[in-house]
Chains A and B, each alone.
Chain A
Amino acid sequence: MAKQTARQRLRNEINAGSMADIAFLLLIFFLVTTTIVEDKGLKVRLPPWTPDAPIADVSSRNVFTVLVNADDELLVRGEQIPITALKDYAKEFIANPKRKAEFAKKPTKAVISLQNDRSTSYEMYVAVYNELKAAYNELWNDLAQLRYGKPYSEDMPLAMKKAIRSEIPLVISEADPFQAEN
């Protein structure tokens, strides 16, 4: 009995009143140091390195050559076009709905060859890449809408994604840039 009363008397509690202050301090520290930057960008898969670049043997009707020169001008299949027209041109080339003889035989055969100058601005390069990717994204979207009744997205089932991407594979080959001739 006596023991218990002694313990009761000795019961010492830590004053928790300053807990909030400590937590506040830590909170402010993390608030200041935190950077909620989400990194977004164009996902690209580079081709594996080979010492001498193999020249792909594809007939010219299936190749969509895009050249970007040092002045950020576009030359697509031999003609100069503005960047705003690139997406629709690429889409028509890949899908070839009217079965034109000069466009890709099948979407699976289509190859996009992108070549730039060493003096091309990075901004232009990204813009061109973006347009080409947009063309593919729109084609995938159309196909997904047709097949599954919903738009193509990154988080759709893997099998569906694979099916769509095997039907219209994204092939963008990047040749080494040409030097500005001067």
Chain B
Amino acid sequence: MAFTKKRGNTSPEVSTASLPDIIFMLLFFFMVVTVLRDAELKVKVNTPQATELTKLEEKSLVNYLYIGRPLERYHSLYGTKPRLQLGDKFSSVKDIPLFLEKHKIKVPENRHGQITSSLRVDGEVTMGVVQDVKTELRKSNQLKVNYSAKKRAD
């Protein structure tokens, strides 16, 4: 009986006054970690697996070059041979210097040396295409390169 008496006095509602604060906290977290995708993948990229991986530190200092076979819906336009994608369009190797320059403008000048090019290349692609891209990167003096890969479990 003593129990019922106690319960009768207190209201059983949980205060929801702090709910907005909690939601806002979550919101800010996601706002900070979010990176709005700027490029839609038009080529199939399934990066190979490796063990000796290093993490890319700052996203703003990285530009991405995708190499792979065009997705099914682009087959009629671009064929099935491995292609290079810069930004959100199919490109040729000759477009690389301009692409790098466009990215460089957005980076403060004192950090130009830290810009990394991340090559996200499909595992099935042959080295010929990759080699041409590498040569072009060397010609444009973009020497910091990252071969994007997945962690191999072993």
Contacts and interface: CB of A to CB of B under 8 A. Distances in A.
A38 B59 CA distance: 9
A129 B23 contact: no
Given A30-B27, A33-B36, A34-B34, A45 B126 contact: no
B126 to A, nearest CB: 5
Contacts, number: 148
A44 B56 contact: no
A127 B48 CA distance: 8
Interface residues of B, number: 54
Interface in A1-26: 16, 19-20, 23-24, 26
B54 A154 contact: yes
Interface string B95-127: 000000000000000000000101111111111
A118 interface: yes
Interface stretch (B7-15, B70-78, B83-91, B132-140): B132-140
A52 interface: no
A133 B52 contact: yes
Given A34-B34, A130-B51, A134-B51, A39 B127 contact: no
A27 B144 contact: no
Given A34-B34, A46-B138, A118-B126, A137 B52 contact: yes
Nearest to A120: B127
Interface residues of A, number: 44
Contact of A16 (B20, B37, B142): B20
B123 to A, nearest CB: 4
Nearest to B150: A40
Given A23-B23, A41-B118, A121 B124 contact: yes
B141 interface: yes
A68 B55 CA distance: 27
Contacts of A20: 19-20, 23
A142 to B, nearest CB: 15
A31 B145 CA distance: 31
Given A16-B20, A30-B34, A41-B146, A47 B52 contact: no
A62 interface: no
Given A121-B125, A122-B130, A126-B48, A34 B145 contact: no
Interface of B: 19-20, 23-24, 26-27, 30-31, 33-37, 47-48, 50-56, 62, 67, 116, 118-128, 130-131, 134-135, 137-139, 141-151
Given A39-B56, A119-B128, A120-B127, 19 more contacts: A23-B20, A23-B24, A27-B23, A34-B35, A38-B55, A40-B148, A40-B149, A41-B47, A41-B149, A49-B141, A121-B126, A122-B48, A122-B123, A122-B130, A123-B123, A125-B127, A125-B130, A127-B50, A137-B52
13 contacts: A16-B20, A23-B23, A33-B36, A40-B56, A41-B47, A41-B146, A46-B137, A47-B138, A49-B135, A116-B127, A126-B147, A134-B52, A177-B128
Interface of A: 16, 19-20, 23-24, 26-27, 30-31, 33-36, 38-49, 116-123, 125-127, 129-130, 133-134, 137, 154, 176-177
